[in-house]
Amino acid sequence: MIQQLTITDIRNIVSATLKPSPSMNVLYGLNGSGKTSVLEAIHILGVARSFRTSRIKPVINRDSEVCTVFGRLGVTSGSVPIGVSRNLRDESLQIRVSGENLKSTSELARLLPLQVINPDTFRLLEGSPKLRRNFIDWGVFHVKHQDFFPLWKRMQKALKQRNSLLRHGRINGSELASWNIEFEKAANAIDLLRNEYIERLIPVFNQVLSELTDLENLTIQYYRGWDKERSLNEVLTSGLARDAQSGYTHSGPQRADLRIRMGKVSAVDVLSRGQLKLVVCALKLAQGFLYKELSSKQCIFLVDDLPSELDIPHRLALCQLFQKMSCQTFITCVEKEALGNCWLPETEVKMFHVKHGQIALDENPGQQRIRRAESLEIEHE
C-alpha cells in the first residue's frame, strides 16, 4: 500500500505529493490535466517503466532530463521507502529501496504488485497471444515467484539457443538434442505452474463475472502451446523440418494462450465494447482476489477512465467489487460525479482534483454514499 507518493517531472507533473487513501482514490480532472500521468508514475514506481510507452523520453517532462517517483510503502513491519529515477542523459535507471540500490526490476515488481486496467488492457481479448501469456504469467510470477522466474529464464535461454541452431542449419548435431531436452524440462514445469494457476483462477473469474454481468456460456480454456495429447519432445521431433525452414520453434510455452469463448465462437467476435470491458475487468479483478487468497498480500489497482463505456449499474457493480477486494485502488475519471453513489459507508475514499499537472486533495468531495442495503442490487438488462 502506498502511503505517500512524490512525483517529479513525469509529463506535465513537475512536482506533486499526495497521501493516498489505503483503499479508494479517485483522480478527476479535465482531459490532458495529468490524471493518467499519476497512474503512470505509480507504474514507474512499481516496475520502472510506463504502461503507455516503452520509451522513457516522452514520459519525462519536456523541460527536464530526469524523472523521479518516490513512494513510501506501508508494510506490516512499518514502511519502506522506494525511489525510482530515470535519466535521459545517460539512459540510466536508479532504483533505491530502503536506502540500498536495487539492480533487478523483478525484485521491485514483487514489492509493489500492480494491476493496470486501461484502454490498452481491453486488447487482452482481441490482441496477440503474448498479452494473454503476460496475463497468466503475472499471476504465476507473483504467486510462485521462486519457482517460476528461474524456470522462465531457463526456458528462454534454451529456446534462444535452439532457434539459433535452427537458423544456422545445425539441426542434426547432439547440441540440438541437448537443448531440446533442456527446453522440454523447463517447458513442462512452466506448463504445470500455468495450468495450476488458471485452474484456480477460473472459478474466481466466474464468480466475479457473475457479480458484474450475466454472460452465460463464457468459457476460458488454457492452451499450453503444443498438442495436449503428445509430449513436447514428440512435437519438436515431428516439427523439426518446419522449425528449420522458418528458423524458429513453433511449439512450446512461448506459444501458450488463453481461449475465451462464448459458446463455440471467440468472445471478441460477439461481445459489445462494454461487455468486453467487463470481461477484462473480471479477469483482472479475479487475479487480484486470487493473489490476496494465495499470498495474503494485496496488489494495487490502477484504473484509467473507469466510467467510459459503462452504464451506471455496471460502474456501480465494478466499484463494489473493488471495495469488496479492499485493495488500494486509483481510479481516474473526467467528472467526479461519474462515480457518485458508488461508495459504501465504510470505504475510505479520497478524491484528488488534477488540474494542469497539479494535484489537490478535494476536501469536500460531496459524494453520496450508498446505503448497505442498496449495495449489489444491480439490475441486469
Ligand X SMILES: Nc1ncnc2c1ncn2[C@@H]1O[C@H](COP(=O)(O)OP(=O)(O)OP(=O)(O)O)[C@@H](O)[C@H]1O
Annotated binding site for ATP: 29-36
Contact between 119 and ligand X by CB under 6 A: the answer reads: no
For ligand X, which is the closer residue by CB, 142 or 353?
Answer: 353
Site size with ligand X, rule: CB under 6 A: 17
For ligand X, which is the closer residue by CB, 50 or 180?
Answer: 50
Contact between 8 and ligand X by CB under 6 A: the answer reads: no
Contact between 68 and ligand X by CB under 6 A: the answer reads: no
Minimum gap (Å) between residue 358 Cβ and ligand X? 12
For ligand X, which is the closer residue by CB, 33 or 320?
Answer: 33
Minimum gap (Å) between residue 304 Cβ and ligand X? 7
For ligand X, which is the closer residue by CB, 34 or 307?
Answer: 34
What is the strand order of the sheet 218-223 is part of? 218-223, 257-262, 265-266
CA 311 – CA 379 distance, rounded (Å): 11
Contact between 58 and ligand X by CB under 6 A: the answer reads: yes
- Evaluate whether 251 touches 232 at the Cβ level (below 8 Å): yes
For ligand X, which is the closer residue by CB, 147 or 305?
Answer: 305
For ligand X, which is the closer residue by CB, 325 or 354?
Answer: 354
Q: Binding ligand X by CB under 6 A: which of 8, 23, 25, 33?
A: 33
Q: Binding ligand X by CB under 6 A: which of 5, 18, 20, 34?
A: 34
Show contacts with ligand X in window 324-363 (CB under 6 A).
332, 334, 354
Pairing between strand 114-117 and 100-101? unpaired
For ligand X, which is the closer residue by CB, 85 or 180?
Answer: 85
Tally the residues of the chain: 381
Q: Binding ligand X by CB under 6 A: which of 8, 61, 254, 287?
A: 61
Angle between helix 129-143 and 174-212 (nearest 10): 90
Please enumerate, by residue number, every residue annotated as part of a binding site. 29-36
Minimum gap (Å) between residue 108 Cβ and ligand X? 22
- Evaluate whether 110 touches 148 at the Cβ level (below 8 Å): no
Contact between 35 and ligand X by CB under 6 A: the answer reads: yes
For ligand X, which is the closer residue by CB, 61 or 275?
Answer: 61
Minimum gap (Å) between residue 32 Cβ and ligand X? 3
- Evaluate whether 95 touches 83 at the Cβ level (below 8 Å): yes
What track of x and - describes contact with ligand X for positions 154 through 193 (by CB under 6 A)?
----------------------------------------
Contact between 307 and ligand X by CB under 6 A: the answer reads: no
Secondary structure of the chain as H, E, C letters: CEEEEEEEEECCEEEEEECCCCCEEEEECCCCCCHHHHHHHHHHHHHCCCCCCCCCCCCECCCCCEEEEEEEEEECCEEEEEEEEEECCCCCEEEEECCEECCCHHHHHHHCCEEEECHHHHHHHHCCHHHHHHHHHHHHHHHCHHHHHHHHHHHHHHHHHHHHHHHCCCCCCHHHHHHHHHHHHHHHHHHHHHHHHHHHHHHHHHHHHHHHCCCCCEEEEEECCCCCCCCHHHHHHHCHHHHHHHCCCCCCHHHCEEEEEECCEEHHHHCCHHHHHHHHHHHHHHHHHHHHHHHCCCCEEEECCCCCCCCHHHHHHHHHHHHHHCCCEEEEECCHHHHCCCECCCCCEEEEEEECCEEEECCCCCCCECCHHHCCCCCCC
Contact between 31 and ligand X by CB under 6 A: the answer reads: yes
Q: Binding ligand X by CB under 6 A: which of 17, 19, 32, 177?
A: 32
Minimum gap (Å) between residue 62 Cβ and ligand X? 4
Minimum gap (Å) between residue 66 Cβ and ligand X? 12
Contact between 49 and ligand X by CB under 6 A: the answer reads: no
What track of x and - describes contact with ligand X for positions 9 through 28 (by CB under 6 A)?
--xx----------------
Contact between 29 and ligand X by CB under 6 A: the answer reads: yes
Using CB under 6 A as the criterion, which residues of the chain lie in contact with ligand X when the complex forms? 11-12, 29, 31-37, 58, 60-62, 332, 334, 354
